[in-house]
């Protein structure tokens, strides 16, 4: 067969890409078409996403793809981070520049929320972990500070859903990303309207939910003309980047919970794949979450701060006039001896002005040795992540009743050999690292399945194994 091209738009907190997947009937080849930076922007005293610029970059990437691949392009799909959202009014105008989840307006909102609806009741209605960045607390903060803005809203769209609106005019919400909001009822697989009413949030803004793999439209005529792609089909893959990554994990054990994954990037998401949501008191006490996956599966997981620690350390070093690339920082860390360990989810590490000072403060408070050099600081961050992985893995085994036999580390963080080895050592499990591009593979393979080229999730994962290289780290 002649090669077919599928386009994946993959946005992370630090960068975005337009990727092309070349399908020959057996293997899926990847080609980066266009890459661009991403990150929060300070506007006054608020931290926001510049979505208009991101949409402009996406159109640039699609235009490059249109010129290069033309009629060979079959479909387009978007995946992004979770929790953040756009509000549209009745005329589809965007109500304000969307907030970044690290904006400080949600501080204290969980405690205020518990004054209206108890923690137990929120969990019973949503099965979600409690994090101040969740969409629920962002909406409650908006209701408190800008009620007139919320009153003008007609539609709540996750970031990926808004990009789908830009692409094809769709106003639906894809299920896997909706499940990150703490506004979704996992047992009923619909919005948690009863709980939302108790919070006084407008029900009408929460629109139709669609499953990953749904064809949601064709490129707008204006976008088709601008990019030269024609009226290409737009498909909603698992639009939450972690859901897409888990769909692309190269395991042969689909349907079993005897393996764990770490989607490793700015955040580390450590979890298992379950056939049902896990809603026991143990899950609540462990502050784990239930997020939707492909084919009705659930991702029972924990958000951990992740390589944000190293990204921000790098930035703090640059402020001192010391410029390192990530490979150099890992080499410096590898030369250090094991030292201090902090909780990577300490609130001081969420969005500090200086990450080095934040980590040092955490160590000082815990009466541990305070890392001073660049290598010691990075080593502390990586050791702390591996230590947290071990703690969370034990909780996952407890709530699932399954013995986890191996850990798949996927995403950009899978290139960090030191963290891979530290994880294997701390968790006492073999670590299978890679592929790096698991998120976009899950995105593209869902598009292939929607077009009839692939039949099942297990076949998707078999294609990942055939199309990618992985490395194994044994515990030492």
- Condensed to tens digits (0 to 9), the pLDDT of residues 392-448 reads 999 999 999 999 999 999 999 999 999 999 999 999 999 999 999 999 999 999 999
Residue pLDDT, tens place only, 98-112: 999 999 999 999 999
**pLDDT band for position 2 (50/70/90)?**
confident
Place of tokens 């890409």: 17
Beta-carbon contacts of 441 under 8 Å, excluding residues fewer than 6 positions away, are 21, 28, 30, 244, 248, 435, 464, 467, 468
**Cα(18)–Cα(276) distance, integer angstroms:** 33
Residue pLDDT, tens place only, 143-178: 999 999 999 999 999 999 999 999 999 999 999 999
Read off the pLDDT of each residue in 302-308 and give the average, rounded to a whole number: 96
Closest CA relative to residue 216, chosen from 231, 198, 233, 241: 233
pLDDT of residue 215: 98
**What would the DSSP string read from start to end of 220-271?**
-HHHHHHHT--S-EEEE---BHHHHHHHT---S-TT--SEEEEEESSSEEEE
**pLDDT band for position 224 (50/70/90)?**
very high
pLDDT of residue 339: 73
pLDDT of residue 161: 98
For the cut 80, the answer to whether the pLDDT of residue 290 exceeds it is: yes
Read off the pLDDT of each residue in 357-364 and give the average, rounded to a whole number: 97
Q: Distance between terminal CA atoms of the chain?
A: 47
**Cα(72)–Cα(420) distance, integer angstroms:** 38
Beta-carbon contacts of 242 under 8 Å, excluding residues fewer than 6 positions away, are 82, 263, 269, 291, 299, 301, 439
Query: pTM of the full predicted structure?
Result: 0.93
For the cut 70, the answer to whether the pLDDT of residue 184 exceeds it is: yes
Read off the pLDDT of each residue in 219-227 and give the average, rounded to a whole number: 97
Read off the pLDDT of each residue in 120-131 and give the average, rounded to a whole number: 98
Write the class of the CATH domain 251-434.
Answer: alpha beta
Q: What does the mean pLDDT of the chain come to?
A: 96
Phi/psi of residue 218, each to 5°? Answer: -125, 155
Residues annotated catalytic, as ranges: 241
Read off the pLDDT of each residue in 220-244 and give the average, rounded to a whole number: 97
Read off the pLDDT of each residue in 320-326 and give the average, rounded to a whole number: 96
pLDDT of residue 1: 58
CATH 3.30.420.40 residue ranges in the chain? 4-236, 251-434
pLDDT of residue 253: 87
**Cα(421)–Cα(200) distance, integer angstroms:** 48
Beta-sheet pairing, 431-433 with 406-410: parallel
pLDDT of residue 193: 98
pLDDT of residue 26: 87
**Cα(438)–Cα(257) distance, integer angstroms:** 19
**pLDDT band for position 68 (50/70/90)?**
very high
Dihedral angle computed from the Cα positions of residues 63, 65, 70 and 74, in that order, rounded to the nearest 10 degrees? -110
Read off the pLDDT of each residue in 269-283 and give the average, rounded to a whole number: 96
Q: Give the whole-number percent of the chain exceeding pLDDT 70.
A: 100
For the cut 80, the answer to whether the pLDDT of residue 256 exceeds it is: no
Residue pLDDT, tens place only, 21-50: 999 988 999 999 999 999 999 999 999 999
Q: Looking at the domain that runs over 4-236, which CATH code has it been given?
A: 3.30.420.40
């Amino acid at each position: 067969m002649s090669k077919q091209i599928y386009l994946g738009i993959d946005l992370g907190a630090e960068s975005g890409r337009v990727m092309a997947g070349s399908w020959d009937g057996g293997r899926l080849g990847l080609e980066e078409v266009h890459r661009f930076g991403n990150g929060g922007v300070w506007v006054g005293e608020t931290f926001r996403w510049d979505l208009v610029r991101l949409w402009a970059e996406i159109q640039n990437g699609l235009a490059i793809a249109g010129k290069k691949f033309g009629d060979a392009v079959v479909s387009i799909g978007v995946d992004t981070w979770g929790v953040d959202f756009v509000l549209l009014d009745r005329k589809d105008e965007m109500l304000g520049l969307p907030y970044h989840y690290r904006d400080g307006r949600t501080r204290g909102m969980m405690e205020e929320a518990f004054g209206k609806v108890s923690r137990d009741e929120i969990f019973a209605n949503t099965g979600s972990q409690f994090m101040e960045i969740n969409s629920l607390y962002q909406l409650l903060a908006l209701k408190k500070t800008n009620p007139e803005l919320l009153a003008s809203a007609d539609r709540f769209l996750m970031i990926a859903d808004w990009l789908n609106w830009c692409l094809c005019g769709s106003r639906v919400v894809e299920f896997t990303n909706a499940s990150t909001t703490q506004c979704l009822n996992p047992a009923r697989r619909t919005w948690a309207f009863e709980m939302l009413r108790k919070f006084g949030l407008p029900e009408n803004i929460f629109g139709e939910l669609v499953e990953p793999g749904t064809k949601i439209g064709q490129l707008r005529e204006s976008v088709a003309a601008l990019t030269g792609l024609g009226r290409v089909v737009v498909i909603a893959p698992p639009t939450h980047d972690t859901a897409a990554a888990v769909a692309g994990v190269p395991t042969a054990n689909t349907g079993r919970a005897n393996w764990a994954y770490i989607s490793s990037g700015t955040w580390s998401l450590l979890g298992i794949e379950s056939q049902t949501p896990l809603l026991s008191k143990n899950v609540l006490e462990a502050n784990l979450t239930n997020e939707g996956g492909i084919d009705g599966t659930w991702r029972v997981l924990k958000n951990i701060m992740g390589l944000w620690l190293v990204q921000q350390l790098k930035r703090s070093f640059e402020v001192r006039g010391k410029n390192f690339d990530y490979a150099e920082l890992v080499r410096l860390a590898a030369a250090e001896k094991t030292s201090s360990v902090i909780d990577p989810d300490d609130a001081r590490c969420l969005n500090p002005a200086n990450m080095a000072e934040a980590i040092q403060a955490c160590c000082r408070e815990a009466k541990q040795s305070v890392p001073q050099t660049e290598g010691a600081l990075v080593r502390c961050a990586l050791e702390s992540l591996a230590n947290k992985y071990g703690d969370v893995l034990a909780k996952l085994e407890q709530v699932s009743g399954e013995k986890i036999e191996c850990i798949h580390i996927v995403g950009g963080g899978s290139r960090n050999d030191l963290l891979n080895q530290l994880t294997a050592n701390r968790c006492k499990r073999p670590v299978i690292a890679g592929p790096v591009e698991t998120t976009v593979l899950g995105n593209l393979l869902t598009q292939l399945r929607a077009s009839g080229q692939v039949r099942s999730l297990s076949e998707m994962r078999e294609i990942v194994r055939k199309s990618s290289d992985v490395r194994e780290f044994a515990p030492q």
